[in-house]
Amino acid sequence: MTHPPIISTVRALQAESDRLRAEGKRIALVPTMGALHEGHLSLVREARARADVVFLSIFVNPTQFNDPRDFDAYPATLERDLKRAAEHGVDVVFAPDVAEIYSEGAQTWVDVSDLSEPLCGASRPNHFRGVTTVVSKLFLAARPHVAVFGEKDFQQLVVIRRMQRDLGFGIEVVAAPIVRERDGVAMSSRNVRLRPEARKQARALVQALNAAEKALAAGQRDRDALLAQVEAILTAPSLARLDYAELRDPDSLEPAPERLRDPTLLAVAVDFGVEGGQAGESVRLIDNRVLVPPRKD
């Protein structure tokens, strides 16, 4: 099976988008950093259902990594990615190099201020500045009608939707559900870096989400009590270091009230030590769930 056409420059992608738009085609964009797994492919399927043409970008964005080691270790599987893209009906792959996206001496950034500060933003300074800047560049290059993002990166989704509204790109930002492994662990390109014991312990994230959901259904409404239960589960694995476990409003990302009454985002992040790795080396996993308190009759 031949792979989709590969475009490597912004100008060429804009020209292709303009041509398709002139033909009345609806374009969907699926931004990725490659190392495609079933979670990414679910985004492609969602894009295919919403558009005539699907663009898939593959670009490992250096400006959203706080640790150079994390950037260097990010898996690069372009040939495999192209094959999977072809199998799932991607029409065009945009695979630029860093110099194409960031010109020499670049000084312009897109920063969604308040929404970028909590959760992942608290421990990863400027991470979301890198995300929103590169997504803006991808929007300008692809000129899509719709862009599809996964709910696993929930804060990213909220930030990008705010950016889209504020800057008026005129793009529909669509959320696709989290895709999970058989044991419940959220699919992530980072999972392949986990050694067997850490991969086993990673189940603690989904176990914590399940426990919180069960407690809420049983009548628990106390924010701090729920978080204490979640943190106990997340800190039990020997290789785990808790970054955060927080309950927040799913739209504003403001902290949840002491008593939960409305749908509430439970977001968690855990660093797992790499067995046999260098000192301080870890794999960071995130997960989330919007908890919905049962309505009283």
Helices (H), 55-117: 68-73, 78-87, 98-101
Question: How far is the first Cα of the chain from the last one, in angstroms, to the nearest whole number?
Answer: 56
Catalytic site residue 40? yes
The burial of 248, by beta-carbon neighbours within 10 Å (0-12 exposed, 13-18 middle, 19 or more buried), is given as buried
Whole-angstrom distance, CA of residue 50 vs CA of residue 141: 20
Three-state secondary-structure class, residue 217: helix
Q: Which of 3, 37, 40, 88 is catalytic?
A: 40
CB 123 within 8 A of CB 243: yes
Convert 57-80 to b/e letters by CB count within 10 Å (16 or more is b): bbbbbebbbeeeebeeebeebeee
Kindly report the number of other CB atoms within 10 A of residue 109's CB atom: 12
Which residues are tagged catalytic?
40
